[in-house]
Amino acid sequence: MDVVILGVAGRLEEERVRLGLKKGEMAQAGNVSASAYGNYLRGERIPDLAALAAWASAGVDPLYVAIGKRMPALLSPDEEMILGGYRQLDARGRAGVVALIGGMQPAAETKHRTEMVFKGGVGSVNQGDYHQNEALTIKIGGKAKRKAKPD
């Protein structure tokens, strides 16, 4: 077995583990049979471009699998560190990062004022979905304002 082939096999397995896939799922993601995937892992064959492209769609870094290098020229050192940390997170952690980034985006400009009026007695239930991109102030009850006494 060639050292290059073994390197590809090891990196392919590393990417599978990083993505949390079973071997059968990884084979399916690359549109290859389980036996072909086994051949790749044993270093008996090298994945073709079609398999690498399919794996790329599943989140595999095909450049890393092929030559052992990530694409740092396309990323700044900060971006590379953030991406590396993101890739090590579980699904819940990734969702949190996506939510955090989404919350940091500038608010969309709204050209109209959104207003909702709720009426009902104590204990009434209002249901439904409401989405708003700007601050919301809710005033509930309160004492009536006193009128100034005439002198």
Q: Mind listing the pLDDT tens digit for each residue in 50-101?
A: 999 999 999 899 989 998 887 655 667 788 788 889 988 998 998 998 888 8
Tell me, rounded to whole angstroms, the distance of Cα 130 from its chain centroid: 24
Is residue 30 within 8 Å of 47, Cβ to Cβ?
A: yes
Domain boundaries along the sequence of the chain: 1-70, 71-108
The mean predicted confidence, pLDDT, of the chain is 80
Percent of the chain with pLDDT over 90: 33
By CB atoms closer than 10 A (0-12, 13-18, 19+), residue 15 is buried
Rounded-to-integer distance, Cα 52 and Cα 58, Å:
10
Q: Tell me the CATH number of domain 1-70, given options 1.10.1040.50, 3.90.1300.10, 3.30.70.270, 1.10.260.40.
A: 1.10.260.40
If DSSP codes are grouped into helix, strand and coil, which group holds residue 38? helix
Q: Read off the pLDDT of each residue in 32-56 and give the average, rounded to a whole number.
A: 93
Rounded-to-integer distance, Cα 145 and Cα 121, Å:
22
Helices (H) and strands (E) in the chain, counts: 7, 0
Tell me, rounded to whole angstroms, the distance of Cα 16 from its chain centroid: 18
pLDDT of residue 112 exceeding 90, the answer is no
Rounded-to-integer distance, Cα 64 and Cα 18, Å:
13
